[in-house]
Amino acid sequence: MPHEQYQTVIKTLHECMEACNHCYDACLKEDDIQMMSDCIRLDRECADICGYFEQALGRGTPFVSVLAGVCAQICEACGNECKKHDHDHCQKCAKACFECAEECRKLAA
């Protein structure tokens, strides 16, 4: 069953989505929000694709590898932006994004 076969990646996608949404929310409350605009934008893109892919895996989508490929790219880009910023939420988000990109690359291969 899909939700068993993909248990690890679903968990990783979920943690990445949560880290991105938390980082997005926290960035919008920062004083230096001007510097965070790319981070806000990428957090949304990344949370949305992770949430999307997690659902698609859970419902047995036939498009696993192609969706994994796009998700890996978006996670990688979001991680690269987040790691530039010292905020704790950005550093945690970068870590979650890179782990998720790694898991997605395995599925895409």
Residues forming the site for its own copies (CB under 8 A): 1-3, 10, 14, 17-18, 21-22, 24-26, 28-29, 31, 33-34, 37, 40-42, 44-45, 47-48, 51-52, 54-56, 58-63, 66-67, 69-70, 73-74, 77
Q: Which is nearer to its own copies, 19 or 103 (CB)?
A: 19
Rg of the chain, C-alpha, whole Å: 14
- What's the closest the beta carbon of residue 67 comes to its own copies, in angstroms? 6
CB of 18 or CB of 99, closer to its own copies: 18
Look-up of token digits 């679903």: 10
Helices (H), the chain: 2-5, 7-27, 37-58, 64-82, 88-108
Nearer CB in complex with its own copies: 58/83:
58
Residues 6 or more apart whose Cβ sits within 8 Å of residue 10:
3, 54, 57, 58
